[in-house]
Structure 1
Amino acid sequence: MDTTQIRLAQRPVGEPDASTFTTVTEALPELADGQVSLAIRYLSLDPYMRGRLSTAKSYADPLEIGDVMIGGTVGEVVESRFDGLLPGDFVLSYSGWQTAAIADGNQVRKLDPSVAPVTTALGVLGMPGFTAYAGLLEIGRPKEGETVVVAAGTGPVGSAVGQIARIKGARAVGIAGGPDKVRALTEDFGFDAAIDHRAPDFVDQLRAATPDGIDVYFENVGGAVFDAVRRRLNTYARIPVCGLIANYNLTSAPEGPDQMAGLMGQILTKSLTIRGFIQSEFTRSHGRDFVRDMGEWVGSGQVRYLEDVVDGLENAPSAFAGMLRGENFGKLVVKVG
């Protein structure tokens, strides 16, 4: 079986573009005992992938030039030499940007399409949903009546954060870019308030939406959004830092005065807790609870989700670049085949 792959051609300076990637078609090796061959049906696009294009020191090794782009996938089993998986089964794997793959049977997770659409394994019932669940409940620890603010609120992580906060009795305020996303925060996801960070009166909107200050800020963005939010933080506020997408394509330090002294002063005088995290560190402690709780919440409609589906693997690079600009509306998924 042949596979068409999108590989890293060169490291981007700033925003990834067409020259960042190259497309190659090659034959897959023969299946060995314990393996399955997969036809990739859906590919997840996520902000963390931008960091893997860089050689800057991080929590994971960078991709090498010529490597297949990484990514979570939903695949359909075409052939199996692994007990427990049959042709026609759907599995979650980490096969990356390609149309077909060989995977070890013990490294994939079988999906049940009768329980939830298989694409949810890449979103609300997968890594992004778990990121929201573990980061908010372990680091944010929202209490009943507190105010939780989350940036990139209509994304797969942010939308889940706000809805989980409300389930726990907190007040959820979402920040998003543009009137359609702001509307979705309240109408689709049930947030208590929504703010447009692109609006000229963003700071005033934030102040009006958080009259009692902010107790938990779930950080997905950084940049100017964080600078505005930090001025509303209450004493003992908690800040889980999940992502800093505003910085991912920067080629130089942001313009303007150095904010570090002011931030450090706040950390001291307001006893702030700022904790970065990678979701995998909580798998053992929170994995089973997440499967149980999120499954129940999605099934009952307490947690809703939106998916932004792009058709065709060839469109993954442009969709990826658009996601880094905030153009996606919901969990970004590529329908491969």
Structure 2
Amino acid sequence: MQAIPCVLMRGGTSKGPVFLGSDLPRDPARRDEMLLALMGSGNELEVDGIGGGYPQTSKVAIVSPSSEPGIDVDYLFVQVMVEQRRVDTSPNCGNMLSAVGPFAIEQGLVAAQGDVTRVTIRNVNTQSVIDADIQTPDGRVTYVGETHIDGVPGTAAPVLLEFRNAVGAKTGELYPTGHPRDVIDGLEVTCLDAAMPMVLIRAADLGKRGDESPAELDGDRELMARLESIRRQAGTAMGLGDVADKVIPKPVLISAPQAGGTLQVRYFMPHRCHRALAITGAVGLAVACADARGITEGLASLPDDSGLMEFEHPSGRLGVVSHWPAGQQWPRCSLVRTARRLFSGSVFVPETLELDAAG
């Protein structure tokens, strides 16, 4: 068996292994085969690997020093499919992003500076730039703190993330179809690209209340088939091509808030409903609500002067603060996550793969 250095981390409401890029094959095809093997992809339990058997726990972060001026590290996100033996590197993942800053400091890629260390991260998947503020009292990363995020038990040290350039992450446009509203399968939708390409759909238009549990939505085969049809057509309309084998765009059901938040959402990944809400999805929704030309109009409550928007999801709510720096067309979005280092060591893959970091 071949041993690969690995750190398993929780980032936000997701979990997965984090690797140094230098420890994995340089060739993308060989790298992906290694990831499929070590995660146990192709089995609903991922029983022969370290994957968690669910999209939120079958994620990989690959971190490398960046050659870009002003950028500390590059972060490549890999979504490893659970039951299908394939990966997708088209999207970013903001939850796993929460683990990148602490990992970079602890691996010596970024030096700790004072009680809070800023790590500037380029997401290679989307070319987005994110500033992450990591708690480093006494020059060391701490995961202990009083911050609670819905969807994760207990409390931990806060990780502040600020997305500098979320709009047009994959397509270059906020509304890649050229319109804030489109009609697909007879339904009015918004095709949006801000941190994550998404297609927003009113829950009521699909006969849903909007507060259903993920299990209830996942079990509705008619709904899931309808969402996939809309998603694929939206992908083509957004210039993403045939998205049958991609996880973007993400379908999102939206409805009026029920607990004093800005909007109630059910976010799909894309073939199962998220138990909470993706960070990139929350950022995109914040931009959509701020712009207010899409179908969030009439459903979303307007934020107060603080710019805080809170999105109600199956595990609670997620807050995003938006603000407009002088001279910028679109807002920057900030939010707080937490992360935790779970274990570090080696993960093993069969030698028959003949994969090595030098190849």
Return the TM-score normalized by structure 1: 0.30
Higher strand share: 2
Which one has more relative contact order, counting CA pairs under 8 Å at least 6 apart? Answer: 2
TM-score using structure 2 length: 0.29
Larger radius of gyration: 1
Structure that is richer in helix per residue: 1
